[in-house]
């Protein structure tokens, strides 16, 4: 049984939005005032992840000049429909007091690595946008609504409006679908369709110690939505010593075998009781299961996020590679893999020894070295160049048997 070790995306990788396309899993995370905007991560097994691309890589897509600290890209969301990737994002250009000057866009691409289209303006009513593709072909935009008026709740509920790809804009009436639960601070809507229900997964409680993920459902995409009677699905509230704090803002993904997982925000706080998290908001993943009455629960039976999670069954033999790269292979599908067991030894020397001893390492073959330290595997695309470890990458061995080309 393969184990996932949380967090899967460590250090400043918040607001994860996950999708699966074929055998490929992708996660988009927030980048705030850092350019290029949005970071897309890639995996084939939910265990090993790599940074793939930053899609908002030109000024016509994202201009961050003059933005305040912690402005810029908030909570991007991914979706995929009929061969097209959709990426929604918020650009926060001002956030003084109760006022937020923010604008929301969608970009599209037929390849995950782009090129991405010029941005289409959506609205400026709030943030945390999600584009849902319904079974009848219609598309619906969900977002939280920000209300700056005096004596009003700033988090004014989740609203929805139809999006027209032909007109490249929102059309029709705006409808509030939920004001959230008693946890408050309802945001981060993600919508899924399963077995006749539309499921609305929202973040609640704020992004601090009270963070949580709550599920609602309806028979119609426009509601009315009923709240999970045993909400929230996920939270670390009430457990200040738990290693994964501030858990919430979830996004669901279904595997090829019908298993479900939730990626979510978390933070690891210092053990001194200060509550500080120097690594910021990170991304973890939990296995979830559907109950007989159609609600979602963590597979552990708890609301607390787990440090270790059972990985899904392998869906395919190949390991992720960039378009145009030579393919990598797992053992059992070409057997082009070398392992280095390095507990108590020199990592470099052991990598050299494993590569030299393996008949699988030969010119023209893309080799994946997987490092095992004290019996615990780490994320492991390791470059062997003449026996020297240069970075967490991989390469194709040249005919001299020592040098290789970076992939």
pLDDT digits (tens, 9 = 90+) for 307-338: 999 999 886 444 444 433 322 222 222 222 33
- Same structural domain for residues 265 and 344? no
Do 394 and 320 contact (CB within 8 A), yes or no? Answer: no
- Where is the domain boundary, 272, 295, 310? 310
- Same structural domain for residues 44 and 189? yes
Task: Count CA atoms closer than 13 A to 18's CA, side-chain side.
Answer: 31
- Same structural domain for residues 342 and 289? no
Domain count, the chain: 2
- Same structural domain for residues 105 and 185? yes
Q: What is the pLDDT of residue 355?
A: 46
Q: Which residues contact 46 (CB under 8 A, 6 or more apart)?
A: 4, 8, 25, 255, 261, 285, 311, 312
The CATH number given to whatever domain includes residue 92 is: 2.115.10.20
Alpha helices in 310-346 (DSSP H): none
Nearest by Cα to 198 from 184, 181, 217: 217
Taking 50 as the pLDDT cut, the residues of the chain under it are 316-352, 354-407
- Same structural domain for residues 200 and 349? no
Residue 291 lies in a domain: yes
Residue 329 lies in a domain: no
- Same structural domain for residues 210 and 344? no
β partners of residue 139: 133, 163
Q: Which tens digit of pLDDT belongs to each residue from 211-231?
A: 999 999 999 999 999 999 999
Residue 121 lies in a domain: yes
Residue 26 lies in a domain: yes
Which residues form the domain of 59? 3-310
- Same structural domain for residues 243 and 294? yes
- Same structural domain for residues 269 and 343? no
- What is the 8-class DSSP label of residue 95? -
Residue 373 lies in a domain: yes
How far apart (Å, rounded) are the C-alpha atoms in residues 396 and 243? 39
- Same structural domain for residues 289 and 397? no
DSSP string, 211-229: -EEEEEEESSTT-PPEEPT
Do 113 and 323 contact (CB within 8 A), yes or no? Answer: yes
- Same structural domain for residues 73 and 145? yes
Residue 328 lies in a domain: no
Dihedral (CA of 177, 180, 185, 190) sign: negative
Q: Which residues are catalytic?
A: 15, 187
- Where is the domain boundary, 258, 293, 310? 310
- Same structural domain for residues 87 and 44? yes
- Same structural domain for residues 122 and 257? yes
Residue 51 lies in a domain: yes
Q: What is the pTM of this model?
A: 0.78
Residue 278 lies in a domain: yes
């Amino acid at each position: 049984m393969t184990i996932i070790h949380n967090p899967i995306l460590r250090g400043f990788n918040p607001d994860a939005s996950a999708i699966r396309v074929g055998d490929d899993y992708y996660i988009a995370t927030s980048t705030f005032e850092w350019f290029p905007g949005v970071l897309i991560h890639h995996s084939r097994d939910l265990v090993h992840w790599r940074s793939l691309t930053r899609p908002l890589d030109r000024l016509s897509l994202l201009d961050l000049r003059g933005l305040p600290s912690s402005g810029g890209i908030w909570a991007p969301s991914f979706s995929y429909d009929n061969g097209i990737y959709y990426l929604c994002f918020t650009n926060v250009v001002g956030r003084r007091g109760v006022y937020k000057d923010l604008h929301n866009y969608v970009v599209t691409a037929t390849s995950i690595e782009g090129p991405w289209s010029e941005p289409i303006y959506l609205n400026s009513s709030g943030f945390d946008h999600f584009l849902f593709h319904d079974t009848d072909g219609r598309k619906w935009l969900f977002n939280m609504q920000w209300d700056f008026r005096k004596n009003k709740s700033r988090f004014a509920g989740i609203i929805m409006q139809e999006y027209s790809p032909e007109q490249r804009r929102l059309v029709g009436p705006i409808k509030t679908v939920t004001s959230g639960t008693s946890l408050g601070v309802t945001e981060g809507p993600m919508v899924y369709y399963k077995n006749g229900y539309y499921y609305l997964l929202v973040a609640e409680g704020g992004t601090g110690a009270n963070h949580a993920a709550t599920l609602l459902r309806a028979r119609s995409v426009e509601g009315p939505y009923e709240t999970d009677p045993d909400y929230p699905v996920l939270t670390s509230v009430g457990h200040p010593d738990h290693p994964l704090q501030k858990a919430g803002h979830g996004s669901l993904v279904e595997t090829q075998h019908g298993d479900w997982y939730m990626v979510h925000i978390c933070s690891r706080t210092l053990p001194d009781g200060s509550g500080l998290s120097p690594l910021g908001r990170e991304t973890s993943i939990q296995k979830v299961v559907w109950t007989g009455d159609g609600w979602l629960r963590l597979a552990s039976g708890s609301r607390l996020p787990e440090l270790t999670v059972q990985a899904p069954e392998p869906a395919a033999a190949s390991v992720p590679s960039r378009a145009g790269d030579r393919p990598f292979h797992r053992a059992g599908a070409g057997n082009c893999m070398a392992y280095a067991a390095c507990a108590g030894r020199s990592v470099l020397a052991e990598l050299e020894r494993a590569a030299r001893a393996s008949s699988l390492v030969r010119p023209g073959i893309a080799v994946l070295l997987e490092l095992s330290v004290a019996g615990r595997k780490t994320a492991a695309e390791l470059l062997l160049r003449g026996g020297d470890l240069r970075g967490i990458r991989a390469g194709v061995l040249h005919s001299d048997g020592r040098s290789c080309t970076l992939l």
